[in-house]
Amino acid sequence: MEAGEAAAALARARQGDSDAFRALVELHAKAAFGLAYRLTGDQRDAEDVVQESFIRAYRQLGRFESRSNFGTWLHRIVVNCSMDALRARHSRREERGVDAAADLAGVLPSGGPSPERLARSAEIRKRVDASMALLTPHERVAFALRHWEGRSIDDIGSALGVQTSAAKHAVFRAVKKMRAALEPLKECR
Amino acid sequence: MTMTHISDDDLILAYYGESAGQDDHLAHCADCSARYRDLRAVLELAAATDVPERGERYGLEVWQRIRHRLPEPEPRWYAVWGRWQIAALAAAAAVVLMAVSFTAGRLWTPEEEAVAVATAPSPDVDDAMRRRVLMLTVADHLERSERVLTDIVNASAGTDISTEQQWADDLVAASRLYRQDAIDTRELSIASLLDELERTLLEIVHRPSLATGDDLDEIRRRVDSLALLFKVRVMSSELREETEAAAAPRATLTSTIG
């Protein structure tokens, strides 16, 4: 779909044309899934986030300013929905008394590490995932947006609806936690 | 003269290219340069995750999943104004009709045929709306539950079902609320199905996350004996049809107003 067609579809969708909204869903769904997956690290959560984001976008179409870019607007909604999913996951873990640090220790062999085994990227991936579980939802989203999505700290602040300084500190805290958790793997690369 | 080293936070900013003017210091300070390399070595471990591939029809699949769940978009100001205006006109018409009826009643003799003012009982809009919202919400809930049940029924022994268990746990919590709502609105068949569903979801939640063949067989037997998947599908589809039928006249009215 070309830019002009996308703009026309958006204009029709804003008039309540659900077929036009469908065209927007088809255009943006893959990108939304990629972002949601990077932020949540879980396929099912990412699927739910994509659906919830489009439903939220549809409900709020009246508030969308036509001069803005729909993709940018949707990006922000996906970030917010991902935050909600992460908060829900976080509180479930807290309710169950799941200790993320203990999970990490379970992934990190305490004695006799085998460098050959550790060097496998799947193992590293598992440890990175376990390290990500140590982060709060804010830290996780800030880190993922900066580290994987290449967003500037200013952008992260506006996506999360916080001051740039708060976004910056969320990134700092996340990096420090990740660093502490991943330090033992450094030699295994 | 003492050299001021780059702080850990500024090293992070430098790694992400958000801190100008550190390059020169990093090039000349062995200590900061070593700390920077150390930071980079760790952060590079957290390489970008491969996003699971989604097919060409993914957008369409998403659309199919959400199309029944799309709410009414938030009305624009002129639509709100239009509805308010019509409501005001309707109220004014009702007042005029009452005045005419009252005057007619005073002027006409008792022998004359009495004017019957038909006053249809006003439907309890709140109850109808509440019921519709309940049906829509339960339909969504049933579809999610169906996905969990299907995953579990098709799981093989030794599969890690912790994700399904987490999902089932959430569904149980939601189900309790919907069941109470269903009882309050006297939708007893919905309440009864939600009750059966809750018990089965709890069975799933309470199994070990690495479910054995026996665990899964027991859940399958329970689902089969209650014909649960069948009931869930039928109920969900009936609720969808009913809400769509209920929404149709309203959609027409809205488009006329808008």
Worst-scoring range by mean pLDDT, A66-70, A76-80, B76-80, B213-217?
Answer: B76-80
Highest-scoring range by mean pLDDT, A114-118, A125-129, B80-84: A125-129
DSSP-assigned letter for residue A152 = -
- The CA distance from B249 to B23, in Å, is 67
Residue that wins the pLDDT comparison between A52 and B171: A52
Q: For position A25, what pLDDT does the model report?
A: 95
Instruction: Give yes or no for B53 touching A (CB within 8 A).
Output: no
> What is each CA distance from A172 to A39, B132, B240, in whole angstroms?
17, 47, 48
Do A103 and A25 share a structural domain? no
Question: Does residue A48 register a pLDDT over 90?
Answer: yes
Whether A1 is covered by a domain: the verdict is: yes
Could B59 and A189 be called an inter-chain contact, meaning their C-beta atoms sit closer than 8 Å? no
Residue B123 has pLDDT above 70, yes or no: no
For residue A135, the enclosing domain spans 99-189
What does the alpha-carbon distance between residue A188 and residue B81 come to, in Å, rounded to a whole number? 66
Q: What is the CATH number of the domain that holds A147?
A: 1.10.10.10
Q: At which of A51, A84, A117 does a domain end?
A: A84
pLDDT band at residue B253 under the 50/70/90 scheme: very low
| Ranges A42-51, A124-133, B230-239, most confident | A42-51
Quick one: A72 and A127 in the same domain?
no
Residue matched to tokens 């589809």: B237
Residue closest to A24 by CA, chosen among A62, A69, A67, A79: A69
A104 part of a folded domain: yes
In chain B, what residues touch A153 (CB-CB under 8 Å)? 16, 18
Q: Which of A92-106, B53-67, B96-110, B180-194 has the highest mean pLDDT?
A: B53-67
Question: Which residues in chain B are contacts of A88 at CB distance < 8 A?
Answer: 170
The per-residue pLDDT for B148 is 82
B160 contacts chain A (CB < 8 A): no
- Output the pLDDT for position B250: 47
- φ/ψ region of A18 (left if φ > 0, alpha if ψ in -120 to 50, else beta) reads alpha
The confidence score (pLDDT) of residue B125 equals 62
| ipTM summary value | 0.82
Among A125-139, B77-91, B97-111, B151-165, the range scoring the smallest mean pLDDT is B77-91
Which residues from chain A sit within 8 angstroms of residue B70, using beta carbons?
18, 21, 55, 58-59
Token pair 């947006």 in the structure block, residue: A145
- Searching chain A, which residue's CA lies closest to the CA of residue B50? A38
C-beta separation of A88 from A42 below 8 A: no
Answer whether B49's CB lies under 8 Å from A46's CB.
no
Q: Are residues A104 and A37 in the same domain?
A: no
Chain A residue with the nearest C-alpha to that of B66? A51
Please tell me which residue, B81 or B56, carries the higher pLDDT value: B56
- CA of A114, closest CA in chain B: separation in Å? 17
Lowest mean pLDDT among A98-112, A125-139, B49-63, B72-86: B72-86
Which CATH number is A46's domain given? Answer: 1.10.1740.10
Q: By the CB < 8 Å criterion, does A91 face chain B?
A: no
Higher pLDDT, A28 or B183: A28
Residues A32 and A76 in one domain: yes
Residue B178, token pair as written in the block = 């919907």
Interface check A125 vs B, CB under 8 A: yes
Q: Do B117 and B97 meet the contact criterion of CB atoms below 8 Å apart?
A: yes
Over residues B136-160, mean pLDDT: 82
Which residues of chain A make contact with B145, given a CB cutoff of 8 A?
Answer: none
Q: Which two tokens stand for residue A64?
A: 């969308």
Q: What is the pTM of this model?
A: 0.55
Helix and strand counts by DSSP (H, E) for chain B: 10, 0
pLDDT at residue B150, as a whole number: 82
DSSP one-letter string for B223-236:
HHHTTHHHHHHHHH
CA–CA dist B145, B149 (Å, integer): 6
pLDDT tens digits for B160-203? 787 778 778 888 888 888 888 888 888 888 888 998 898 888 88
Pick the last residue of a domain from A25, A53, A84: A84
